[in-house]
A = this chain, B = another copy of it.
């Protein structure tokens, strides 16, 4: 099948208890596209960078089958830049710098050759930008998934709800699910959020795994207990990329296949956090991924031969 990823392509500067980086390549679109490229060979990207963005990274994406016709390069402008510092628990972070730059007036132009794409992944962006992508596709994709964050719930809740109403799968974390729904219980939150439109809701819980809800089913995917989380930046996007890439490549949106997609996304995310930025994602092989999937199977698998004595 074919997959369109829309999301920021950016620079990050990251500080963790393990060290710090200068400006390195990051951005939701980058992590999603790299992760999805492990599964889906026919991928298209819509994003925007400045003329300071390294050509090598664009070529890296192309070498992984990502069509970058929709990646706008703005001459004389600068790429989106984010800088943050993680606390010791690696679960919370302070934003040090946010320079929107080219992202401030981002108009997601869809190249004609992208029309007819079957799977759409909307990375975290303003809900208006996300919605305009959906509106500009002449044929509705078979499956639309979106990520968002609390920032948009704070400043653009009505716009966000309009976009959420148009998608099939919403992917957010537990705090965001609680904020969006006003419910503490994730089971209740899922009902409230699914009533906003999405048939499927994925709630990411970081080191605690992820939950997938639809009308009648719940699936709880574990996270691999890692000895060290080196840099969590991009883990959620990498998860989303693995999820949508797996769905696009298998072209099966049944609940059972979504479970498999979540396990693949979780496996990709478990690699992402082992090094700074995208470093690990560009190193691993398909064999590495297969080995890690085996670890997830061992981790979550049980067989109930006898329930009551």
Contacts and interface: CB of A to CB of B under 8 A. Distances in A.
Contacts of A205: 208
A174 to B, nearest CB: 10
A186 B225 contact: yes
Contacts of A35: none
Given A220-B300, A260-B305, 19 more contacts: A39-B309, A41-B309, A185-B227, A187-B227, A209-B209, A218-B225, A218-B299, A219-B299, A249-B309, A250-B309, A256-B303, A260-B302, A260-B303, A263-B304, A289-B307, A289-B308, A290-B307, A293-B307, A300-B300
27 contacts: A38-B308, A41-B309, A185-B225, A185-B226, A187-B225, A187-B226, A187-B227, A188-B228, A209-B222, A217-B298, A219-B298, A220-B223, A220-B299, A220-B300, A222-B222, A245-B309, A249-B309, A250-B306, A256-B302, A256-B303, A260-B305, A263-B302, A263-B304, A264-B307, A286-B308, A290-B307, A293-B304
Contacts of A221: 302
A225 B39 CA distance: 30
Contact of A309 (B89, B246, B299): B246
A220 B222 contact: yes
Interface string A253-269: 00010011001100000
A12 interface: no
Band of interface residues on A? 35 or more
Contacts of A246: 309
Interface string A203-222: 00101110100000111111
Contacts of A286: 308
Nearest to A221: B302
Nearest to A183: B227
Given A211-B225, A225-B218, A308 B39 contact: yes
Contact of A184 (B39, B88, B304, B307): B88
